[in-house]
Amino acid sequence: MPVFLNPKYPGPERRSGLNWPRARPGALEPPHDRVLHIGLVNNMADAAMSATEYQFLTLLDAAAGDVSVHVTLYALPGVERKPPGQRRVGSFYFGIEQLWALPPGHCPDGLIVTGREPRTPDLRQEAYWPSFTRLLDWAQEHACSAVWSCLAAHAAVLALDGIERVRSPHKQFGIFACERAAPHALLAAAPARLHVPHSRWNGVPAGQLIANGYRVLTRTSDGGVDTFVKEDAGLFVFFQGHPEYEPETLMGEYRRDVGRYLKGEADTYPQLPLNYFEAEVEQALRDIEARARASRQDRFLGELSAVLGGARVLNTWRGTAALVYRNWLEHLCAQKCHGGTSAILS
């Protein structure tokens, strides 16, 4: 079954268009317990909003199978946006207050919550922190399950259990081989070794997670945490990586960070994403890096874009990502079938 987007406004698309199928009134649907409503709370910066929408919609579409998935976009207040981002939110996003006001029986079956690049050293000082923590409380009471993506995962464990994230000496950037650390139905039929994109400077310590009742499901090859869960009134799933990423996403982040370096907005030249580019492309990028380090010039960004334009990236993680999200959707269906009282995935 396809994934549908619930429109904020009926009628034709607005010019800022979000090109995704809308549910048609009266269209034939599968049985009630095979129809899921997912709230996507997208907190990403303006430049990444539309890409993030597409990433999660296409991943859910790949995972849905015979489940009909209806997605509603929500926005947190306090997330700073420029006029284009404000227009997009105004066109396609429901206010988070509308989520909180939903009566019992009309709440989403599951939530997906994204993070955003922080503006303060302490996440508790972010302008959106009060609304984020209220969303967390709401999810604990009303959602069968919620997915917390990357920085949202860090913010959630900080708010829930006071677990502080720790900055690494080097950015975790690239495609990481991850090993299973514990059995769980989310990983049913998944290979023992998974590939997952990561793009982060910070991580949460496994020891503190375990001490506070979390279960680490997968670890990166260097022993860091990849995916973990907490099972209480509902199932909370935390991804430090980005299984939703498209093949070109890390490439775009690398180009952005090189641009920041060339403009003097960053002190260090960014590292190449690990296990990502073919050897010939990687060597060409290293040659540009060597010359750019010697003399910061805008022209190098053009050279870099030309190399990246011809790069091919093999998506080695999509199949497993779709499988994990398929297992998550099946969990939501089981919860719905039993009126939200079925046993938690384990």
Task: Just list the catalytic residues.
Answer: 150, 242, 244
CA nearest to 64, candidates 9, 125, 21, 26: 21
Report the run of H or E that residue 99 belongs to, with start and end: helix 96-100
Structure tokens at 99: 């989520």
CB 227 within 8 A of CB 323: no
CA nearest to 59, candidates 233, 195, 247: 247
CB 198 within 8 A of CB 244: no
Residue 119 marked as a ligand binder: no
CB 335 within 8 A of CB 344: no
The residue behind tokens 């959602």 is 143
Residue 256 marked as a ligand binder: yes
The DSSP line for 261-322 is HHTTS-SSPPPPPBTTS-HHHHHHHHHHHHHHHHS--THHHHHHHHHHHT------SHHHHH
Q: From CA 233, how far away is CA 295, in angstroms rounded?
A: 56
Binding residues for substrate: 171, 199, 256
Binding residues: 171, 199, 256
